[in-house]
């Protein structure tokens, strides 16, 4: 096993926690520092490029690549003006889950119109809280080996971890890092760091008590029951606002330089929007590193970017079809399926 670097992790302790008021975290401004990773280059084909076989996409191919990278990031921070810092985000996607298998089996239309609101077809189970499939576990093992292979070259391991509350992401995080690290920093679960909010049963999280028992390595500052499932289908704009909100929350509080976030394709897509990064499809169990310039947003005047709807604002559950010709399902109010245009934010 390889000892996890704990340098600078103490910097994110209680003394540096930013107290959040009713308006949420202070809004931050992000921009991508180009030239370090191939994925930020538009010439890189995200459907074909396998970053796990290429030092996670680091542009420098030399044997001293990661040492040079660390020196460059250190220099950026040493020379940064007041109020500016540079971080490296490792954006990790969970391995294949049973819900991914089911969607492929049924097809997108049947999935969005009926099966996503179910938990099983009697043969396979994907809800609630879809777990990793056997292929998903294999994918995660491959990612873990990719990290191990880069350690001799000085790859900077994450100094802190943030993770979705859904089991497939939690299992991905634990299985990725257990073979790599002896004493890793304790990951923190974030309720908002989750897939598009909807009635997809595979996206309904487990009770917090179950998660604490199943993943004792992780800190769970969350409610016992899932407060966000049984919701309107979240729009892309709504998801972008939610992820920007939680990203601001994380980076206002976590003062480390190398930060890992293990979540979902939708979360990563919205994170890239917030960062100003080109669209990039991260495959299951993939990792997308991004060098980010972080600064306070000078235009922020205390506006709330995102808030959860109160219970009385969410229409009651009813049984009806969400697509013509499909069997009725239990849905909330005027729920719209993922095949069409959803008007809710």
What would the pLDDT profile of 268-319 be if each residue is shown by its tens digit? Answer: 999 999 999 999 999 999 999 999 999 998 888 777 767 766 655 666 777 8
Question: Would you state the pLDDT for residue 338?
Answer: 62
**Among 55-69, 106-120, 218-232, which stretch is predicted with the lowest mean pLDDT?**
218-232
Does residue 137 carry a catalytic annotation?
no
Q: How far apart are the first and last CA of the chain?
A: 45
- pTM of the complete model beyond 0.85: yes
Q: Among residues 94, 99, 200, 264, which one is catalytic?
A: 94
Residue 156 counted as domain residue:
yes
Q: Cis omega before residue 232 (within 30°)?
A: no
pLDDT, tens digit, for every residue of 150-168? 999 999 999 999 999 999 9
The answer to whether position 93 is within a domain reads: yes
**Residue 311 included in any domain:** no
Task: Please indicate, yes or no, if residue 175 is contained in any of the structural domains.
Answer: yes
> Does residue 65 lie in a domain region?
yes
- In this structure, the number of other CB atoms found within 10 A of the CB of residue 3 comes to 12
If one counts the domains in the chain, the total is 1
Which one has a higher pLDDT value, 244 or 26?
A: 244
The Cα–Cα gap between 110 and 97 comes to: 18
- pLDDT at position 337: 66
Catalytic residue among 195, 232, 234, 249: 195
Averaged over 41-50, what is the pLDDT?
A: 96
Q: The domain that contains 72 carries what CATH number?
A: 3.40.50.1240
Domain residue limits at 161: 9-97+132-196+234-299
Q: Considering the domain boundaries, does residue 56 fall inside one?
A: yes
User: Which residues, including other chains, have CB under 8 Å from residue 114's CB and lie 6 or more apart?
Assistant: 322, 323, 326, 327, 329
Among 227, 93, 84, 251, CA closest to 164: 93
Whether 173 is in a domain gets the answer: yes
Compute the mean pLDDT over every residue in the chain, rounded to the nearest whole number: 87
94 in catalytic set: yes
Q: What is the mean pLDDT of residues 90-106?
A: 97
Domain-located, residue 338: no
């Amino acid at each position: 096993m390889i000892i996890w670097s704990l340098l600078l992790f103490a910097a994110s302790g209680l003394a540096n926690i930013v107290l959040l008021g009713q308006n949420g975290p202070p809004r931050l401004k992000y921009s991508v520092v180009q030239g370090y990773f191939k994925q930020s280059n538009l010439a890189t084909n995200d459907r074909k490029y396998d970053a796990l076989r290429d030092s996670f996409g680091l542009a420098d191919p030399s044997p001293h690549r990661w040492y040079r990278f660390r020196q460059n990031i250190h220099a950026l921070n040493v020379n940064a003006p007041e109020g500016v810092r540079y971080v490296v985000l490792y954006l990790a996607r969970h391995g294949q889950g049973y819900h991914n298998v089911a969607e492929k089996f049924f097809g997108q239309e049947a999935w969005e119109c009926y099966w996503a609101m179910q938990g099983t077809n009697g043969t396979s189970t994907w809800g609630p809280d879809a777990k990793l499939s056997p292929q998903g576990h294999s994918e995660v093992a491959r990612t873990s080996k990719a990290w191990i292979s880069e350690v001799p070259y000085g790859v900077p391991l994450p100094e802190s971890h943030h993770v979705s509350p859904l089991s497939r992401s939690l299992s991905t995080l634990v299985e990725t890092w257990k073979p790599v690290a002896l004493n890793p920093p304790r990951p923190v679960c974030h309720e908002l760091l989750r897939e598009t909010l909807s009635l997809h049963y595979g996206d309904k999280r487990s009770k917090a008590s179950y998660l604490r028992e199943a993943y004792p390595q992780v800190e769970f500052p969350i409610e016992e029951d899932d407060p966000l499932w049984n919701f309107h289908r979240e729009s892309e704009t709504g998801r972008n606002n939610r992820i920007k909100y939680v990203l601001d929350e994380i980076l206002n509080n976590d003062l480390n330089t190398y930060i890992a976030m293990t979540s979902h394709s939708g979360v990563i897509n919205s994170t890239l929007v917030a960062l100003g990064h080109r669209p990039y499809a991260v495959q299951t169990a993939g990792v997308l590193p991004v060098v980010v310039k972080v600064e306070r947003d000078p235009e922020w005047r205390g506006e709330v970017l995102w808030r959860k709807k109160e219970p009385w604002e969410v229409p009651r559950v009813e049984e009806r079809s969400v697509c013509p010709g499909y069997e009725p399902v239990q849905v909330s109010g005027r729920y719209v399926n993922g095949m069409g245009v959803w008007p809710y934010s």
